[in-house]
Amino acid sequence: MGKFIVSARKYRPVRFDQVIGQESITKTLKNAIRQNQLAHAYLFCGPRGVGKTTCARLFAKTINCMNLGDDMEACNACESCLAFNESRSYNIHELDAASNNKVEDIRNLIDQIRVPPQIGKYSIYIIDEVHMLTTSAFNAFLKTLEEPPAHAIFILATTQKEKIIPTILSRCQIFDFNRIRVPDIMSHLQHVAEKEGIEAEPEAMNIIAQKADGAMRDALSVFDQISSYSGKKMSYEKVIESLNVLDYEYYFKMTAAFLEGNVTETMLLFNEIMERGFDAQHFIMGLTRHFRDLLMCKDPQTFSLMDVAASIAGRYREQTSLTSSDFLFRALDICNECDISYRHSKDQRLHVEIALIKLCRLAEKKEKMEKKVMHAPSAKSAETKESGSGNDEKQVKTNNIPPPSPVMKDKPDTGKKNVYTNHSLSIKDVLRGNKKEYASPPDEKNTSADPATETEESGTEDFTPEQLTKAWTGFAESVKEDYPRIYSAMKNQNLQMNEDFVIPLIMSNRVQEEDFNREVKPDLQKHLRSVLGNKRITIKTTVLEDEEKTQPYTSEEKFEHMSKKNPVLKDLKQKFNLDFD
């Protein structure tokens, strides 16, 4: 029985064209060798397991090869290449800066640099984890790094470039290594599995690739671990069992329960997940990822951004056809808020369960709101009366109100209802009959415009304050049950609108504004545009400053409000060391 060698070492690239996911870097290094433009210092930086040290060794081996091919690859047959392959080369020196990070270590290295190579043209010094050097060691290294002997080349490798002092960075050619993409990791793992005689499912390779987080070394380590567990057949079920990864099926079932508004099924599924020993926060993170993939699947242009196997992609297409983009946006928002505040929650399971209940109510709220808005009375269907003078007075019923001019002027001859001026109007004042405030200015001519010359802006229709109030009130009633606080705020608004059809709303606090913008504003804006036939209607919210707030909201605000009226309260709070409950 031969000695076992881990896959990360056994299948380490021996040629530049075998390096995975770093094509631009390997091409640049090969061109530098071809054109004989070798720098005296290189810095390879990037995440762990992406090929920094591997590329450094290949570069060192190639520039000393005595029989380079036309493709700038080492021959693996000359004395220099054989010495490198057998780990007996005296031309390539590797130093671990994590354990040799003092000034004395750098001085020993500087003394060693003076010795010329025995075979080949260059002595290559590979310093790994170079960010671990002390500031004194960096300073001692500066002069030698800038002007080394002609035969010396330095290759520095690090995972934390930001920790290296700028004077070192300025003396190096910097190569930034990328995380390796999931498809590239899957392809390499499949190649290793074939070499090892292991039958591996694509779904299993996909889970390992995602678990590796862009690091090929991590992927190969996980591969070895699972091959020891599953033997010569690596299935999706064995991989998720070995890695304790939650099955995709749970996310699909959970999303189906959300779309049906089935709280019972959702709670039972979550309980099953918890009983299997999965972490609640990891579940929320996975659910967020699931919603993200569903959203990417909505558009063919973003479909390639999904990191899932081809067989599972079909399930995503099927489920995304049942979801709306609005549902996915709100679901992502709920999951993200739950993930952010998870660690600060005292009852973390309950915290996640509340988020799941909110997700269940998304479809329910949408359905109820659509029904109520559908049955809400249309402001455009109101009866309008037109009256003449003398005995020719008559009434006309119509469902289509002729579009008036955007600027309100007195028109005594037409009998039309007044519409918005270029000044902000108060709907309440208009309803109370206070119309003098909105009359035309004294210097403006009260002449009626010719209807033939009035033009309607593209995609807009004009409407009266009464129609806006009716549409606004109808929608407010539809959200009264689900959002009582927002309903109260909507009912108390003094509706105004400027000439750009922007409705400003004043909220008493930031929390109320965020709830309104997230839960109600999109549907309200859509409803007003549809009912009033004006696509330019926009709702803009603002929050009162502290000194302008009409009523306190939080406990602190209430206390400050009462303290202004009775300063003794602050003395009592301080004397008895009281706090807000």
- If one compares 181 and 566, the residue with the highest pLDDT of the two is 181
Q: Quote the CA–CA distance of 467 and 465 in Å, as a whole number.
A: 5
Q: Where in the chain is the domain with CATH 1.10.8.60?
A: 182-243
In the DSSP assignment, the letter for residue 535 is T
Confidence of residue 492 (pLDDT cuts 50, 70, 90): confident
Q: What is the mean pLDDT of residues 547-576?
A: 72
For position 537, what pLDDT does the model report? 85
pLDDT over 90 at 476, yes or no: no
From residue 80, give the alpha-carbon distance in Å to each of 54, 63, 87, 414, 464. Answer: 17, 10, 11, 101, 89
pLDDT at 267 over 90: yes
Query: Which residue is it, tokens 């590797």?
Result: 94
Residues near 316 by beta carbon (within 8 Å), at least 6 away in sequence: 293, 294, 297, 306, 308
Report whether CATH 3.40.50.1980 matches the domain 419-438+459-550: no
pLDDT digits (tens, 9 = 90+) for 389-425: 444 443 433 334 344 434 343 444 444 444 443 344 4
Per-residue burial over 173-212, b = 16 or more CB atoms within 10 Å of its CB, e = otherwise: eebebebbebebbbebbeebbeebebebbebbbbbbbbbb
Largest pairwise CA distance in the chain: 121
Distance, in Å, from the CA atom of 510 to the CA atom of 516, rounded to the nearest integer, reads 10
Considering the chain, what is the average pLDDT of its residues?
80
pLDDT at position 374 over 70: no
Question: Does pLDDT of 156 surpass 60?
Answer: yes
Could you read off the pLDDT of 299-322 as tens digits, one per residue?
888 888 887 777 788 889 899 999
Question: What does the alpha-carbon distance between residue 453 and residue 462 come to, in Å, rounded to a whole number?
Answer: 16
* Stretch(es) of the chain classified as CATH 1.20.272.10: 248-374
Tell me what pLDDT residue 301 has: 87
pLDDT-wise least confident of 6-20, 360-374, 551-565, 567-581: 360-374
Residue located via tokens 């109007």: 425
Residue 371: its pLDDT value, please? 56
Structure tokens given for 475: 């929608």
The half-sphere exposure of 327 on its side-chain side, counting CA atoms within 13 A, is 24
Apex 238 CA angle, 237 and 240, nearest 5: 70
Architecture of the domain whose range is 248-374: Up-down Bundle (1.20)
What per-residue confidence (pLDDT) applies to 552? 63
Q: Does domain 7-176 have CATH number 3.40.50.300?
A: yes
92 backbone dihedrals φ, ψ, rounded to 5°: -115, 120
More confident residue, 386 or 375: 375
- The answer on pLDDT for 436 being more than 50 is no
Position 134 pLDDT exceeds 60:
yes
Task: Name the band, by pLDDT with cuts 50, 70 and 90, for residue 222.
Answer: very high
Residue 436, both tokens: 């003098």
Share of the chain above pLDDT 70, in %: 81
Tokens representing 257? 């329960």
Where does CATH 3.30.300.180 sit in the chain? Answer: 419-438+459-550
**φ, ψ of residue 261 in degrees (nearest 5):** 70, 25
pLDDT band for 355, please (50, 70, 90 cuts): very high
The CATH code belonging to domain 182-243 is 1.10.8.60
Q: Where in the chain is the domain with CATH 3.40.50.300?
A: 7-176
